[in-house]
Amino acid sequence: MALEDAKTQVDLAFTRAETRGLAFENAFGGATSFLRRRYTKDLAGADLAITGVPFDQAVTHRPGTRFGPRAIREASTLQAFDPPYGWGFDPLTEFSIVDYGDLAFDYAKVADFPGALTAHIRTILAAGPGTITLGGDHYITFPILKAYAEKFGPLSLLHFDAHSDTWADDDMTRIDHGTMFYKAVKLGLIDPARSVQVGIRTDNPDTLGVHIIDAREVHERGPAAAVEKIRGILGDHPTYLTFDIDALDPAFAPGTGTPVWGGLHSWQAAAMLRGLAGINLVGGDVVEVSPPYDTTGATAIAGAHVAYELLAMYCWRKAGR
């Protein structure tokens, strides 16, 4: 069936009539929506919306993540043929998942960006589906959390990263990808007692009460122990999961702005994400994929895999498994 479909399927991002089902058009051709989902602004009946935020004007080092959403979508064409490995179900067929496209914003009016992104996510949530966002630098999670907190109240934050991004900054107008979770705690968007950061390997003594599972702990105790600890912290509280690709060691994800050695291995991240099936995930993002610093495309491939895992995790809970 797949071989026959490959002969006729092309540009499913625009030509597919349905929002469910696997896709078999050639990975090397066609329009590159995420997992070949249909591009649409019509969210009627949608269970989940993928959206891109090509913003990288909050970085402290190397820019380039504005190209992340495009690269992740392109990398995802390798995955659209099959259900996500190891999950035991097919979310692309069981659920209506659409690609909502990218946020439109004026790159020359940076101060207007946060409000535009919060409104963008608010519009999607008001229509019913959750969101998986493709970044962009990590600052984008802050405006997204504002929209989510409006709907769900203070959230549990599950944060994979090399950096805590909780450096003190009481100026709420500053746009910086290293201080936004400090602000999120101070504004009550997230509950630090029910939040956890995984893969940390840079020093920031004030954790603001957020639980830390650093990279060394994952290496020494293993992913299963980390998953058990994470579950104990999150409980059944509504959770937003943000995955900075620099949580992975630079050997696996060199294309990022602030790489730090000693990071998570790809298999460890995959094991933890799959082990967390059943948490009350209400939304998530993948950020800091910077294609200009990785000519192999491996970082974008990792980002696409993470996004697919988040999609599976979201649908797992929705399916009541």
Binding residues for Mn(2+): 138, 161, 163, 165, 244, 246
The residue among 229, 227, 262 whose CA lies nearest residue 247 is 262
Strand bridging mode 130-135 / 281-287: parallel
Instruction: Count CB-CB contacts under 10 A for residue 284.
Output: 25
Torsion of CA 283, 46, 310, 74, to 10 degrees: -120
Residues belonging to the binding site are 138, 161, 163, 165, 244, 246
Q: Tell me how far apart the alpha carbons of residues 31 and 9 are, in angstroms, rounded to a whole number.
A: 11
Q: For residue 111, report the phi and psi dihedrals to the nearest 5 degrees.
A: -65, -25
Long-range contacts of 88-91 (CB under 8 A, 24+ apart): 89/312, 89/315, 89/316, 89/319, 89/321, 90/22, 91/311, 91/312, 91/315, 91/316, 91/319
DSSP 251-262: TT---SSS--SS
Tokens linked to 265: 């291995």
**For residue 232, which amino acid is it?**
G
Residue 58: enclosing H or E segment and its boundaries? none
- Do 167 and 85 meet the contact criterion of CB atoms below 8 Å apart? no
Tokens linked to 233: 């912290």
